[in-house]
Amino acid sequence: MAISKNDGPAITISSLTKLYNVPRQKQKRSAIRDLNLTVPNGEIFGFLGPNGAGKTTTIKILLNFITATSGHAEIFGVSSEDDNARQPIGYVPEQPYFPKFLTTLEVVKAHGSLSGFGFGSSKVQAEDVLKDLGMYDHRHTPLSKLSKGMTQRVAVATALVGDPQLLILDEPSSGLDPVGRKELRDLLLSLKARGKTIFLSSHLLSEMEAICDRVAVLSSGRLVGEGRPADIVQDSDKAIVLIGGLAQLDTLWRQDAAALNAEYKLDGPNVRFTVDGEAAYPLISRLIGHGGALISVTPERETLEDAFLRLVEQDLAA
Amino acid sequence: MINVFRHLTTLAGITMLEGARKQIFHVLMLFAMTLIVIATLLGFLDHNIQMKVIKDLVCVAILVSSCLISITLSVSGLPQELELRTVYPVMAKPIKRWEFVVGKYLGTVGTVTIGMLIMLAAFCGILLAYSGHVSAGVFMVMPFLLLEACIVAAIGVMLSTFCSTPLAWFLTVFVFMIGAFKFQLSEFLAAKDHSVVGKVVEAVGYQVLPNLECFNFKDSLVHDIPVSGIYLLQTGLYGFVYTVAVLTLASLAFAQKEF
């Protein structure tokens, strides 16, 4: 079946539910409940959620490792239960393992062949990908001799070797050092620039915020938030005021801060105030009156991590 | 069709490479060589029928060793892939479940073939050293010993799709033993048990379990008895059909698996 990669979304998930039998119990446990999700083509899509939220279960259904109890998922318009749906997919599992008696090149080359390349071209493809990932010098090294970070790179290589349109990455930064993480981030951005779609499940929320076009937050198997990172985070009407030069033992500025409901925190020689936006100017005036010097005023902004924790806590409370 | 061929050869290739590099394969090959040496030494006990005894015992040593290798590798292949999660990156490619099962099986057969070729070389070396020639019968016996090991490997793969590795190992050894003495066992049971239930169980067992005895042509090698081409063809066809049937069951079982 021909797969059109340019039209329509890369992933469409409709009313997806997965129930598991619990031993010695009549009731089934739900891993995912009525999940609806659309991943546009050509974007980096972040898939967030605490452990046990159902992220890996969703990915396993997309890859047809497990079957959904109800609902369905499509990859470029093809049902995920069709083996052809995996043609445009490259997948990096969480904590990847490979046959330890094989070498890096043997494994990556085999994945190239399984992706549809001929034996000759899969070797060329494998070598190119290993060069891109800085693993070419280790091409003849048995996988049992590689470090965790290197094994992770091999996993990325096996995913990239077929030149897939859609990359599904489950915690790809796991095991990578900061340099490796930056290289992976740059790689993902370059893949996006080439029009690839990246479906990224990760716990590193600061990285997700930096590179994702859209994110979805999953909690207890349900979607609790979806949109662009800027849409997920809540606007705040508070301001952060950083003041230097205040005598730290002085009680007068503390009284002024309390009068304007400003929270403060000592930050080295400076003091960091969090105050309602409209009270910021009066606070600054009073603090300057106490000998303080204004260093900066910034609007308080919720990070993606704050938003993630808020959404998950709201869901758990509900 | 090209894709199916490519998938099968790729999976078989990496499975064979991995199998041939595994320590357990090297240990079993050492065991096989030890058995062949012991069989050769035992042949010297009787100088009159020295070559007959050597041929007989070495064939038994090759059969036992190759079946032990095929059982050990076949029962651990699929469960190990699932347990170590090496199955994930492979099954994320556009391959079918049955291709994975058959590819793994062919790889195991490839490793067993490597082992048998080494044993054949040793056998030929012994024959050349003591009789100065290698009879053509050797090259008729060995493919059927390999076919027997292939059937045993298919049973191992099939059992490993729904049994734990140790249980699959014991069950496969059990089936191998019954299959190797099926005819004698059937006659023994027929003489002992006259109940209807016993007869039904025996009849079903007789049809379902493989007849591994028919692959054993060592007597014709030892005593230089000619075997008709038709019989060889029928035996080969029986082995092929039985293997395909068992692998079909294994593929159906693996297709239902969630991992």
Q: What average pLDDT score do residues A28-48 get?
A: 92
Q: Which of A147-151, A279-283, A313-317 has the lowest mean pLDDT?
A: A313-317
Query: Taking CA atoms, what residue in A is nearest to B7?
Result: A114
Q: What is the mean pLDDT of chain B?
A: 89
Query: Taking CA atoms, what residue in A is nearest to B255?
Result: A65
CA-to-CA distance for A9 and A15, rounded, in angstroms?
A: 16
B114–chain A Cβ distance below 8 A for any pair? no
pLDDT, tens only, B18-69: 999 999 999 999 998 998 888 888 877 766 677 888 888 889 889 999 999 9
Question: Is pLDDT above 50 for A2?
Answer: no
Q: What average pLDDT score do residues B206-219 get?
A: 87
pTM: 0.84
Nearest CA to B124 out of B55, B200, B78, B28 is that of B55
CB B10 within 8 A of CB A114: yes
**Burial of residue B244, with CB atoms counted within 10 A of its CB: 0-12 exposed, 13-18 middle, 19 or more buried:** exposed
CB B69 within 8 A of CB B23: no
Q: What is the mean pLDDT of chain A?
A: 87
Query: Taking CA atoms, what residue in B is nearest to A155?
Result: B89
CA of A315 to nearest chain B CA: how many angstroms apart?
Answer: 29
Of B17, B84, B92, the CB nearest to A97: B84
Total domains in the fold of chain B: 1
Query: Taking CA atoms, what residue in B is nearest to A86?
Result: B94
Distances (CA, A) of B156 to A223, B21, B66, B215: 44, 20, 13, 18
pLDDT, tens only, B79-125: 988 988 889 999 999 999 999 999 999 999 999 999 999 999 999 99
Q: Do A111 and B93 make contact, defined as CB atoms within 8 angstroms? A: yes
Q: Do A96 and B85 make contact, defined as CB atoms within 8 angstroms? A: yes
- Provide the pLDDT for residue B47: 63
B95–chain A Cβ distance below 8 A for any pair? yes
Nearest CA to A86 out of A162, A184, A181 is that of A162
Q: Measured at the alpha carbon of residue A315, what is the angle toward residues A313 and A316, in degrees to the nearest 5?
A: 65
pLDDT, tens only, A116-137: 888 778 889 999 999 988 899 9
pLDDT, tens only, A151-174: 888 999 999 998 899 999 998 887
Q: Do B3 and A159 make contact, defined as CB atoms within 8 angstroms? A: no
Q: What average pLDDT score do residues A211-233 get?
A: 87
Residues of chain B with Cβ-Cβ distance to A102 below 8 Å are: 14, 17-18, 21
B252–chain A Cβ distance below 8 A for any pair? no
* Band of pLDDT at residue A1, cut at 50, 70 and 90: very low
CA of A168 to nearest chain B CA: how many angstroms apart?
Answer: 10
pLDDT, tens only, A236-271: 788 899 998 887 667 888 888 888 899 998 888 889
- Provide the pLDDT for residue A24: 78
Domain carrying residue B157: 2-255
Cβ neighbors of B41 (< 8 A, separation 6 or more) are none
Q: Do A99 and B92 make contact, defined as CB atoms within 8 angstroms? A: no
Of A91, A98, A110, the CB nearest to B10: A110
Tell me the ipTM for this assembly. 0.84
Q: Do A83 and B17 make contact, defined as CB atoms within 8 angstroms? A: no
CA-to-CA distance for B127 and B133, rounded, in angstroms?
A: 6
CA-to-CA distance for A157 and A160, rounded, in angstroms?
A: 5
Residues of chain A with Cβ-Cβ distance to B96 below 8 Å are: 83
B92–chain A Cβ distance below 8 A for any pair? yes
Is the CATH number of domain A235-301 3.90.1150.10? no
* Band of pLDDT at residue A53, cut at 50, 70 and 90: confident
The domain ranges of chain A are 11-230, 235-301
CATH code of A11-230, in short, is: 3.40.50.300
